[in-house]
Structure 1
């Protein structure tokens, strides 16, 4: 009946909650009470009537179309229950109107329908997006397509059972298949919600439209959150053929003005209007789709070449710097990056164009997988070389120390490996490959690999410890174990040391980190500890004179630390009187320390010779002639000096007075007078301050 059709269309379009827009629906209602002079609020009356009718399920074509008389009653049923509702229609002045029961009776009917579904009065009506019934599925689909179009978050796509598709195909096919279904629904007529079952307990598939090429069916699907209703995979598989069969049907004018067709349907409409012969099928595609696909390949290839040239023109200076440095793989890297850029551009072009061509899934699966593979595998070399170039540029501009460059290189390697793993996982997800089981297997196998590669992991962790703790740096001269050498490289697996013999020693990091490491490059001064051995013929006063003069020498020398400084007679050796000299040389350079030590030893020889003493030798001497006796005059002079010091209370034992130390401090010339480097090795002010 046309009256009920108009009433439902008005109510369905504006929604049950829009009280201010019920004028059109209210104009189709008449009440016998008004003829008796009663006043009725028509919008409220229409709203209450809609709430009752919306809980019922009926086919409009089952209502009387040519009733006899001026009054007819239609019996409407609730799906899944035994409840019914009788609605009267009244013929007045050449038109049919709805004559509902009084408001109290409508309210009782509404409560009766709720009770039949075990719904409390204050129960919140479930959202149609929960897809609890076939009616919810159609509401979600049509409203989603009307409000969201082809947006990725369109709730209409959730009404499609695409569980058998890969992620790549699902993203491309869902908007397209939804568009096909929408086009077919618009051509077969307006969808009235009340014609679609709303029984949440039913599990019988609902067939909305039947055609020799295929049916439009929604069926229940078991999910983790319960049962939902979706358009069946068979519907999605045949919807293209159904659309082609009904494409010639005229679209209702009111629907055509509201609908915004997708790009594919606009393109197909253009081809239909200009070259309809291209709509003929050639294999799985129509002829115009083949032409557009080949044109996309050619355009994508040409665009990729153009983009790669632009990129290399912009970044040409950086690649030129690589070639100037003689990098052996510069040309190879340029070609790899160039083809990677072309692959990415071609893949993106294919995705954009093929998405709008409406390809069937048998072709779309191959095309989309190929396009995404080009994009993903093309991005990997670009990202790989981009990270390497960024690290290289950062290291050059910041002038980083060697250990930080090594650490930066290691971290960039981890990032690049992560990019490869991420790319593989993304591609597997897009292609629908079952990588979860592989990852689980790798987790179990990884334990076995870790046990087998335990030494390698130990070296890796030890290398990271060396980077974090930094006991040594590249260029440091050190002792490791019983060997010495200069650090040349600290890697993640091993450390390379250049030995004094100019050989390269490679030590695993796990062993190197556990060694006793002595870093000579970190010392601020060099230790001097030597023992002088004088002959037993040396008299005590000679020995005192030697000790006093040696102390003068050490205190006066500008390259000898004032503290600690010891010159002591320490004991009687097997064949000598032993004098210990213990101090530090004010230098961190090993070569310079040897020069200072040489100067000190020569001066010590002069002091010993001046006292008339002699150095002892660990040897047995057989005298066949009279031995050369010590110089009596020098012995006498040394003894006289000691005697004078004793009388004047200036005997420097156990040490010199501080006044004499101050006078003696830094009083000698070093380097000695006449030295070729005397001027350039004059003590600096802070060294004089350190001596004092």
Structure 2
């Protein structure tokens, strides 16, 4: 038996191979027990707490930290063997690749969890969280690219030419995709500044509708007449956006033009009965009613009131009722609205030969 164990295969005795194999098996069993008992216990403990941070730590340990440590321990065990230069180089390259892989995945995973925890802590809606996924995909790709460059550098290759090429290529791509990048940065502005969200009723330029989707390049708005408006994000950022959903109340200003020959007592009565009519309506706050201008053909009264709701139909109902009551009050008092017109003065021309 001793003679067999002392036999040399590829620079190592059978006994050394057996010891290394036994160590690998023991380590594998220990890590299996670690996952089955300790990690399971930590999961149960974290599930009982209100914080999600401990859940994230346990998940990261199970997915990345423990497997990486397991591979590194096995690599250290294998180093006990007398390896050839070629095999040792292959193992070192494999370890470098595995390290870069786990490092990049851990960074991306930590970034994803951190953003999700932050979004949930701010009680952000699911639509906003979906938007974050699109943004994180870009940053994850950048992290992977940086990880590959670092791996190539650690393997002993000169990356100066590669970085220079990436820089020149990046400039060329940026110039070629200038409009796309403008919309992309506009998407970031919309995401962080939050001028509107999915489901908001907005008005932009001459278009109005409900936001259905906020994409990386364009946003989709369903117009009031049913068409889908596809608007570049850059145009949205440059424009003035009215967000009706975020109204707390709606202010309404309207003007009334009455004739110049309206009696003074009626002019004094107009602000009073307009105030009474408006205050009699539910969900309405009266602000003012004044004679504000001597127009070309009329006296102009201006009225301001507020509807204490964002419901557009409620606003139309209240406004219709107010207008009808004002018309009724004008009719009862004999007050006439002014209508634009012109007055012509006719003068008879003198007969021929008649002195002027």
Asked whether the two chains share a fold, i.e. TM above 0.5, the reply is yes
Output the CA distance in 1 between the equivalents of 2:269 and 2:13: 111
Q: Which runs of 5+ in 2 are unaligned?
A: 48-58, 341-356
Cross-structure match for 1:314: 42
The aligned residue for residue 500 of structure 1 is: 224
CA contact (8 A) 1:485 1:500 kept: yes
What is the match of residue 333 of structure 2?
611
Residue 219 of structure 2 contacts residue 230 of structure 2 at CA under 8 Å; is this kept in 1?
yes
Whole-angstrom distance in 2 between the partners of 1:402 and 1:565: 48
Residues 256 and 302, structure 2, Cα contact 8 Å, conserved in 1? yes
Mark the CA change 1:435 to 1:493 in structure 2 (over 3 Å): closer, same or farther.
same
Distance in 1 (CA, whole Å) between partners of 2:290 and 2:193 is 34
Q: How far 1:590 moved relative to its partner?
A: 4.5
What is the rounded CA distance, in whole Å, between the counterparts of 1:295 and 1:376 in structure 2? 28
Write the distance in 1 (CA, Å) between the matches of 2:252 and 2:111: 47
Residue 602, structure 1, aligned to residue 329, structure 2: no
Are residues 283 and 303 of structure 1, via their aligned partners in 2, closer, same or farther at CA, if it must alter by over 3 Å? same
Which residue number in structure 1 is paired with residue 76 of structure 2?
352
1:441 positional shift: 1.4
| Alignment length (residue pairs) | 322
The question of 1:283 aligning with 2:3 is answered no
Mapped to 1, the partners of 2:233 and 2:323 lie a distance apart of 41
- Check the 8 A contact 2:93/2:155 in 1, yes or no: yes
Q: Secondary structure, in 3 states, of the residue corresponding to 2:184?
A: helix
Change (3 A) 1:439 1:483: same
Alignment of 1:258-273 (within 5 A): none
Instruction: Tell me which of the two structures has the higher relative contact order, counting C-alpha pairs closer than 8 angstroms and 6 or more residues apart.
Output: 2
Q: Determine the structure 2 residue equivalent to 1:421.
A: 145
| 2:182 corresponds to | 458
1:123-134 to 2 correspondence within 5 Å?
none
More helix by share: 2
Deviation at residue 353 of structure 1 after TM alignment: 1.4
Check the 8 A contact 1:608/1:614 in 2, yes or no.
Answer: yes
Query: What is the CA distance between 1:610 and its match in structure 2?
Result: 0.4
Structure 1 residues 544 and 471, CA gap change in structure 2 (3 angstroms)? farther
Q: SS where residue 540 of structure 1 aligns?
A: coil
Deviations, residues 448-502 of structure 1 (Å, cap 9, x unaligned): 1111221221112222333455544555432112101234554543334343346
Closer/same/farther in 2, CA of residues 362 and 593 from structure 1, 3 Å limit: same
SS at match of 1:357: coil
Q: Report the Cα offset of residue 607 of structure 1.
A: 0.9
1:236 match: none
1:44-103: CA deviation from partner (whole Å, max 9, x where unpaired): xxxxxxxxxxxxxxxxxxxxxxxxxxxxxxxxxxxxxxxxxxxxxxxxxxxxxxxxxxxx
CA distance in 2, matches of 1:431, 1:362: 14
From 542, 550, 555, give the equivalent of 2:270: 550
Give, in whole Å, the separation in 2 of the partners of 1:294 and 1:506: 63
Cα distance between partner residues in 2 of 1:564 and 1:467: 42
Distance in 2 (alpha carbons) for counterparts of 1:298 and 1:373: 24
Equivalent in the alignment of 2:310: 589
2:261 to 540, 545, 548: 540
1:291 CA displacement: 3.3
Q: For the residues of structure 2 that align with 1:605 and 1:525, how far apart are their CA atoms?
A: 23
Distance change in 2, residues 1:285/1:445 (3 Å): farther
Match for residue 204 of structure 2?
480
Q: Distance in 2 between matches of 1:418 and 1:568?
A: 63
**The one of 233, 245, 253 aligned to 1:528:** 253
Residues 393 and 420 (structure 1), Cα distance of their counterparts in 2 relative to 1, 3 Å cut? same
| Shift of residue 508, structure 1, vs aligned partner | 1.9
Q: Deviations over 1:593-625 (max 9, x none)?
A: 33432232122022122023567999xxxxxxx
Deviation per residue, 1:230-257 (Å, 9 max, x gap): xxxxxxxxxxxxxxxxxxxxxxxxxxxx
Cα distance change, pair 397–316 in 1 and its aligned pair in 2 (3 A):
farther
CA offsets per residue over residues 233-284 of structure 1, 9 Å max, x none?
xxxxxxxxxxxxxxxxxxxxxxxxxxxxxxxxxxxxxxxxx95764543125
CA–CA distance in structure 2, aligned partners of residues 585 and 339 of structure 1: 57
For the residues of structure 2 that align with 1:300 and 1:508, how far apart are their CA atoms? 57
- Distance across 2 between alignment mates of 1:395 and 1:569: 56
**Rg (Cα) greater in structure:** 1
**Structure 1: gaps spanning 5 or more residues:** 1-273, 320-333, 619-692
What's the offset of the Cα at 1:517?
2.6
Q: Is the Cα–Cα contact under 8 Å of residues 546 and 608 in structure 1 kept in the other structure?
A: no
Q: Quick one: distance in 1 between partners of 2:31 and 2:157?
A: 28
Matched position secondary structure for 1:562: strand
List per-residue Cα deviations over 1:80-131 (Å, max 9, x = no partner).
Answer: xxxxxxxxxxxxxxxxxxxxxxxxxxxxxxxxxxxxxxxxxxxxxxxxxxxx
Change beyond 3 A, Cα 1:292–1:423:
farther
TM-score, scaled to structure 2: 0.69
Which of 82, 100, 109 is 1:376 aligned to?
100
